[in-house]
Structure 1
Amino acid sequence: MAALKEPVKIFIVQSLACFETPQQVADAVQQRFGIEIDRRQCEGYDPTKFSGRNLSKKLTELFERTRKDFRENIEDIAIANKAFRLRELQKMYEDSGRNKRVKQNLLKQAFQETDGRITKTDITTNGESLNAAKPTVIELVAPNVKGTD
Structure 2
Amino acid sequence: MAALSDDVKRRIVQDLACFDTPSQVAKAIKAEFGLIVPLQQVEAYQPGKTAAAKLSKRWLTIFEETRKAFLEDTSQVAISHRAVRLRALNRMAAKAEDKGNMALAAQLLEQAAKEVGESYTNRFKHELTGKDGGPIETRKSKDLTDEELAAIAAGGSA
TM-score (norm 1): 0.70
Aligned length: 124
Q: What stretches of structure 1 of length at least 5 have no aligned partner? A: 128-149
Aligned to 2:108, which of 95, 106, 109?
106
Q: What stretches of structure 2 of length at least 5 have no aligned partner? A: 129-135, 137-158
Alpha carbon RMSD of aligned pairs, Å?
Answer: 2.5
- Residue aligning to 1:121: 126
- Residue aligning to 1:80: 80
- Out of 93-102 and 71-80, give the one that drifted further: 93-102
1:42-75 per-position Cα deviation (integer Å, ceiling 9, x unaligned): 0000013222122100100000101111111111
1:19-46 per-position Cα deviation (integer Å, ceiling 9, x unaligned): 1111111122222222221011100000
1:73-123 per-position Cα deviation (integer Å, ceiling 9, x unaligned): 111111111222123213333442453212221023224435679443389
> 1:1-149 residue pairs with structure 2 within 5 A?
1-95=1-95, 96-97=97-98, 99-114=101-116, 118-121=123-126
Cα distance in 2 between the residues matched to 1:57 and 1:33: 25
- Out of 15-24 and 99-108, give the one that drifted further: 99-108
Q: Given residue 23 of structure 2, which amino acid in structure 1 is its aligned partner?
A: Q
Describe the shift of the 1:36–1:90 C-alpha distance in structure 2 as closer, same or farther (beyond 3 A).
closer
Cα distance in 1 between the residues matched to 2:59 and 2:41: 15
Describe the shift of the 1:37–1:90 C-alpha distance in structure 2 as closer, same or farther (beyond 3 A).
closer
Cα distance in 2 between the residues matched to 1:63 and 1:122: 45
Describe the shift of the 1:29–1:114 C-alpha distance in structure 2 as closer, same or farther (beyond 3 A).
same
Cα distance in 2 between the residues matched to 1:81 and 1:109: 15
- Residue aligning to 1:145: none
Cα distance in 2 between the residues matched to 1:107 and 1:35: 42
Percent identity, aligned pairs only, is 41
